[in-house]
Structures are given as structure tokens and as C-alpha cells.
A and B are shown apart, each in its own frame.
Chain A
Amino acid sequence: MAEKKIRVLVAKPGLDGHDRGAKVVARALRDAGMEVIYTGLRQTPEMIVEAAIQEDVDVVGLSILSGAHMTLVPRVVNLLRDNGVDDVLVVVGGIIPDEDVPALNEIGVRGIFGPGTPTQDIVEFIRREIGDR
């Protein structure tokens, strides 16, 4: 009968126009049996959080290549919290310099995946984190 599926929102906040990486990850997650809500380019943090709520996702995946992660990611995380969403796993993919990682971890971002991360690592990370619940 019906079974629980992991639902993941894959979103691209900010203004950069490259979503190839995000699409590759989306397909890998689908191939791993997850339901991926793909929202496309140029999402504002408000749009991302609204979609995360309406779609009741387990994971919010943000793909950011523009270098604006230190403003965008905290805004998404804060908005999620302000809306009472406290049970969502936030992961970030893109070009994130090492020195920014501790600050992102600090605000609760657990998974940070640079370019070239094997998609299998992302799949396993999500499974492990969600399975722990």
C-alpha cells in the first residue's frame, strides 16, 4: 500500500541563471526514489519557504552559485523558523568557500555540497538524516 516518500524541494535562490547542477541533483534524487519539487530559477527566500510549507517537504535543497549564500541561506533558514517550520533539513549546494562553512553549520545547515560532489553522497546524506527522525 501507500508508503512514505522523502519529499525534497530543489530551489535556486538569487539571480544566477545556471540550473544545470540543480537539475542533475534533482534527477539523482528522483532516481533514488524521492519526490522532488523543482521550482526553477530566481526564487526569493519567501517563495522558497512558501513552497516548502505547501509541499510539506522533508528537505529544502538550495543551489547557489552566485556567491550570495551568506545572505540567502540565513534568510531562508530564518523564514522557515518564523513560519514554525522546525522539522526540515536544509542542505546547500554550490560554490561555498571553506571559511563560510562554520557559519552555515551554526545556523543549522548540515549538508553542504561543493561542485563535483558525487550525487550518491547527497542521496546517502539525505537518507541518513531523514531516517534518523
Chain B
Amino acid sequence: MNLIQDTLNRDRRAIARLISHIENGEPDAREALAVLYPHTGRAYIVGVTGAPGTGKSTLVNELAKAYRRLDQPRTVGIIAVDPTSPFSGGAILGDRIRMRDLAGDAGIFVRSMATRGSLGGLARATADAIKVLDAAGYEVIFVETVGAGQAEVDIAKTAYTTIVVEAPGLGDEIQALKAGIMEIADIFVVNKADREGADSTVAAIRMMLDLNHASHVEGQGWRPPVCKTIAVRGDGVPALVEEIEAHSAFLRESGLLGQRERERVTTEFEYLLHEQLMRQFVSRVSPEQWDELIERIVRREVDPYTAAEKLLREMT
């Protein structure tokens, strides 16, 4: 199996194996990504995030089917991220349970990923897995993540369109939404619209949008729509697809797509540079020297700013 060539030919085993190598930080993954890079940048990336159990996987399942049913069907890649247990380092990745309808369609590839280590690490492994699916020719890529933490914000920066999924009866949740997720939502979905309270959830989101008109997206001419869906029945999904397409068209026509891509590439590049510089630098400091410096800062013999400056001066 040639991981690179076979990935470009959309061989599912090669794609899957390459994503594993990325997750495991194996050296050949980096080489492969370098070769694949010119083949990326064609996929449209959609982030789907929201609180646990709001119906994200069910919705992604329906969205994938909808994209496959278009007059000009588009191939779909799905990356479903679930948290790693901080106690054991293991994880149960259960999003496929809701995606059984997608089995047997060669135009769909589903991969589950655990968050594993650091947040930055997750964002990068996910971003690299997206590149693999992109290079393999999947045209629309959905990335499902849980919650509203920094990881979601990082992943949202990777997506062109970010969908925030809510469900009725999560009053406190809406409060929490305000904190950071407002800024990343391009489209809101109130799923489980068959349940009581869907309309008041819609109203609550609209109200927050009104209070927030200075939010970055809206400032640039896009007010996030609020869609109601019943994902278990597929209701409201065609309208959601239309909103995704409308947002995509808006980004293209306004020139924001290029700007988002540039911001994303900048963040990614800075992160990598930061990581590599740090590694290079730290490798030149002996552990004893390092420990001693930390100890001196702890004892208040030197402040961290001065210590950093001094170390940098000594090492360069």
C-alpha cells in the first residue's frame, strides 16, 4: 500500500491508515501531508458543534444524505470528534451509531477521532485529517465536535461554515452560548423541533443575535439564520442545506472566503512555527539549567519576564 498515491486514488484503507499515522504523530505522515498539500483546498468544510446529545450526529447523517441526493451529488467526508477520558486516555466514539444510513455509499467516508492530548494537538490532527479527505477528493467535509470549549473555536476556524446545534429546553445552555459560541456560529440549528419549546429556543437565539449585531460575521454582512430541524425524520434538512450553500456563496462573493483561508493558514503556520521553535530552543537548554531557572522564579529571585529575556540572550 502506497499511502500517498492510494489516498489520491481515494482508496479507503490508505486514507484510514494515513489518518491513523497523523493521529499517532508518525514521521511518514508529515511527508505524506507535504506531498498531498497541493491537492488540498478544494473541499468545502462545515463544522457542526453544540452541547452533548443535541442531535449533531443525526443531523450530519441527514446532511450527508442530502448532499448525496443533490442533482449534482457531492461526495462527503465526515470527521466526528469525541473527548478522550482524562483518566484512562481511552475513549468511546459513538457517533457512527447515528450514521448507519451512510453505510455502503462509496461517496461517503466517516472517521471518528478522539481528542487525545492537548487542544492545539486536536485542532492540528483534525485539520490534517481534513486535508487527507480533501486530497482524496471528498467535496464536502463535516466536522462534528462536542461542547463549546477552545477546541470548538479552533476547529471552527478550520471550517468555512460553522453550524451550532441547539435543542429545546436547554435554557442554561443558551446562556452558556453567549460566552463564546455566538461568535463562531454562521448558522444556528434548533434541532428536536418535535419537542416542546422549540419556538422559544428560536426566539431566544434571535434575541441574542439582535443584542449582538456587532458580532464579527454580522458586521461583515451576514446575519446567522436560525433553522428548525427534526433530524430523526430529516425535516428541515433541505432548508439547512440551502443556508449552507447561501453562506458559502456569501463568503465567495464577499471575498471573505479567501480572508478566512488566509487567517486559518496564518494560525496554523504560527502554531507550527511556535511549536518547532520551542522544541529547537528547549533542546539546547540542559534539564539542570531549566530546573534551576524555574526554581529561581519560584523563589522570587527573578521574575519570569527577566528570566525569559536572559535565557534568550544567552542562547542566541
- Interface of A toward B, CB cutoff 8 Å: 1-5, 7, 26-27, 29-40, 43-44, 46-47, 50-51, 53-56, 83-85
Report which of B17, B25, B110 forms a contact with A2, defined as CB distance below 8 A.
B25
**Residues of chain A within 8 A of B121, CB atoms compared:** 2
**Residues of chain A within 8 A of B25, CB atoms compared:** 1-3
Q: Flag if A47 contacts B104 (CB, 8 Å).
A: yes
Q: Which residue of B lies closest to A2 (CB)?
A: B25
Q: Flag if A27 contacts B92 (CB, 8 Å).
A: yes
> Quick one: which of B85-102 are within 8 Å of A by CB?
85, 87-94, 96-97, 100
Q: Which of A33, A50, A54 has the most B CB atoms < 10 Å from its CB?
A: A54
Shortest Cβ distance from B280 into chain A, in angstroms?
Answer: 15
Q: Give the A-B pair count, Cβ closer than 8 A.
A: 93
**Residues of chain A within 8 A of B223, CB atoms compared:** none
**Residues of chain B within 8 A of A56, CB atoms compared:** 13, 16-17, 19-20
Shortest Cβ distance from B7 into chain A, in angstroms?
Answer: 12
- In angstroms, Cα B193 to Cα A101, docked, is 50
Known: A1-B25, A53-B16, A56-B20. A38 touches B116 (CB 8 A): no
- In angstroms, Cα B104 to Cα A47, docked, is 7
Report which of A3, A38, A54 forms a contact with B97, defined as CB distance below 8 A.
A38
- In angstroms, Cα B92 to Cα A4, docked, is 16
Is B117 interfacial (CB-CB < 8 Å)?
yes
Enumerate 10 A-B pairs (CB-CB under 8 Å) in ascending A order.
Answer: A2-B23, A2-B125, A5-B23, A5-B90, A5-B116, A31-B85, A32-B90, A39-B96, A40-B97, A56-B16
- In angstroms, Cα B103 to Cα A40, docked, is 13
Shortest Cβ distance from B282 into chain A, in angstroms?
Answer: 13
- In angstroms, Cα B91 to Cα A30, docked, is 5
Shortest Cβ distance from A42 into chain B, in angstroms?
Answer: 8
Report which of A32, A40, A44, A47 forms a contact with B88, defined as CB distance below 8 A.
A32
Is B142 interfacial (CB-CB < 8 Å)?
no
Q: Flag if B13 contacts A35 (CB, 8 Å).
A: no
